[in-house]
Structure 1
Amino acid sequence: MILAVDIGNTNIVLGCCDKDKILFRERVSTSLTATDLEYAVTLRTAVEMNGLDGSEIDGAIISSVVPTITNTVKAAVEKYTKVKCKVVGPGMKTGLSIKIDNPAQLGSDLVVDAVAGINEYKTPLIIVDMGTATTLSVIDTNKDYIGGMIMPGIMVSHDSLINRTSQLPRIALEQPKKVIGTNTVECIKGGLLYGNAGAIDGICQRMMQELGKDCTVVATGGLAPIIVPLCRTSIILDEDLLLKGLMIIYNKNT
């Protein structure tokens, strides 16, 4: 059984995998001040709450876009599992050909997403990852990573809107009753959710026009289940994409 951990700016996604099967997936808040012991307790709680025995973990892998806590989480994983933990980075075999201006700049989360994407879905492929930032990655018919786009995530837009206005309230990210809002809360919900859905529809359309081909579109990330149903583009929702990618990379490097 393999423990897979993806460290994002807002959340850490973690889960256990056995061969090709994802046994569970959980999200916990990313904390810049937590110690390795605190993270180890979180890992243990997540594993045991899903009815698994931590002593059966015989491998672990991490991807991270938060360098300041990567070593802390790695130490936590090794403290809890007693196994050496791999970290996605330069020198690891991924099977992904990255054809952008500076391949070293590509975030490990986007690499992991793309590795899972080319193994699971038909190319050309657009992968939408909705986290702190919303990222779109493009993989061509040769399964090469050729570029993408980064835009503010929904919560970043929400927080900026609230912090820079005097009278607009914080809201829960729930689907609005209709597109045309009739009160402040519904107007904000519509703007954030339909605004992001419309942006994704428009960007995917423009990317396909630029490629000259229709693409498979796959979405993942914590906010994807909220936005995907509002999109007019045909989008496959795959909440386990990161964990699948981590398992593939782990197996390639074992």
Structure 2
Amino acid sequence: MLLTLDIGNTNITIGGYEGKKLRFVSRMATDRSRMEDQYAIELRDILDIYDVKVTDITGAIIGSVVPPVTVYITRAIQKLTKIKPVVVDDNTITELDVRLNPPSMGADLVAGCVAAIALYGGPCIIWDMGTATTVSVIDSNGSMLGGCVIPGVGISLEALTARTAQLPAISMEAPSNVIGNNTVDCMRSGVIYGQASMIDGLCDRIEDELGVKCKVIATGGLSRDIISYCRRDIVYCCNLLLEGLRLLYEKNRPNE
């Protein structure tokens, strides 16, 4: 079994693949204060929940945007499985034509682009809605042209409630009308319909620049709550980054 680990700023998403089949997905909190033994214990417990033996693990790959945690997770995997994981970095073989200047991307963007090209082809626009919202643009030749970085929905909402005296914390639920008639519904409308409108609007502008229509793919923990309120068709792929990590492992498989 291959372990794929996507280390984000808030959560670590763990996938277990048997060949191309995703057997399980689990999550644990990203905690910069934890040490390798603590991560090893939690990983062991997660494997046990899904009835996976440590000896079943034949490989591992890590994509991370939190370098300090990468070190401890890498050591935890080695301690638990005796396997050195592949860590996605600038030396990883991606076969991705990156047009950024300089041509360097975060591991999450690399994994998302690799998976999107393999699953959907180009041109496409990838929305990854996590702690930050990132937008990646792939052209019809499969080249990564660039994109956008936007404060995530959660960050925006936290800032709104923290910096205003009379606005309460709210849950992520869309009101029945865009025009709210009380404070909570006004806030929910702004968060849900505002984000959905931003997605529609930015996609329109990106397509205008490219001169072609694009497939739009969404992933990330908050995207499902938003995209159902968009006016354009958007494909939701909850495990896009894990699939990208699996594909990257195949391109960078250690010599047995």
Q: TM-score range by the shorter chain?
A: over 0.9
Give 2:234's aligned residue: 235
- Give the unaligned 5+ runs of structure 2: none
Alpha carbons 2:121, 2:142 under 8 Å: kept: no
Moved more, 164-173 or 74-83: 74-83
Letter in 1 for 2:74: K
* Equivalent position SS for 1:230: coil
Provide TM-score, normalisation by structure 1.
Answer: 0.96
More off after superposition, 114-123 vs 171-180:
171-180
Cα distance change on mapping 1:45 and 1:186 into 2, 3 Å: farther
Cα deviation for residue 13 of structure 1 reads: 1.0
Distance 1:247 1:19 in 2: 9
Aligned to 1:27: 27
Three-state SS of the structure 1 residue aligned to 2:207 is helix
Question: Which residue does the alignment assign to 1:101?
Answer: 101
TM alignment of 1:71-86, pairs within 5 A: 71-86=71-86
Aligned residues: 253
Letter in 2 for 1:140: D
Question: Alignment partner of 1:217: what SS?
Answer: strand
Given that residues 224 and 236 in structure 2 are in contact (C-alpha distance below 8 angstroms), is that contact kept between their aligned partners in structure 1? yes
Question: Partner of 1:181: helix, strand, or coil?
Answer: coil
Deviations 1:157-210 (A, max 9, x none): 011101100111111212323222222212111111111111011001110111
Q: CA deviation at 1:21?
A: 1.0
d(CA) in 2 for partners of 1:145, 1:7: 22
Whether 2:106 is the aligned partner of 1:132: answer no
Task: Provide the residue aligned with 2:184 in structure 1.
Answer: 185
SS at match of 2:126: strand
- The residue number in structure 2 matching 1:196 is 195
The alignment's C-alpha RMSD in Å is: 1.1
- The aligned runs of 1:18-57 (5 Å cut-off) are 18-57=18-57
- Percent identical residues: 45
CA distance in structure 2 between the aligned counterparts of 1:128 and 1:47, rounded to whole angstroms: 30
Which residue of structure 2 lines up, in the alignment, with residue 168 of structure 1? 167
Q: Secondary structure at the match of 2:228?
A: helix
Deviation at residue 17 of structure 1 after TM alignment: 0.8
How many angstroms does 1:19 deviate by?
A: 1.3
TM-score normalised over the length of structure 2: 0.96
Cα displacement (A) at 1:249:
0.4
Distance apart, 1:154 and its partner CA: 0.2
What amino acid does structure 1 have at the position aligned with 2:53?
D
Letter in 2 for 1:159: E
2:126–2:217 Cα contact (<8 Å) kept:
yes
Displacement, 1:36?
Answer: 1.0
Deviations 1:51-102 (A, max 9, x none): 3223201100001111122101111122222211110012211111101111
1:103 alignment partner, SS class = coil
AA in 2 matched with 1:218: I
Deviation string 1:124-183 (CA, Å, 9 cap, x unpaired) is 010000001111100111101011001110001011101100111111212323222222
C-alpha distance in 1 between matches for 2:81 and 2:224: 31
How big is the shift at 1:35? 1.1
**How many Å separate the matches in 2 of 1:123 and 1:90?**
23
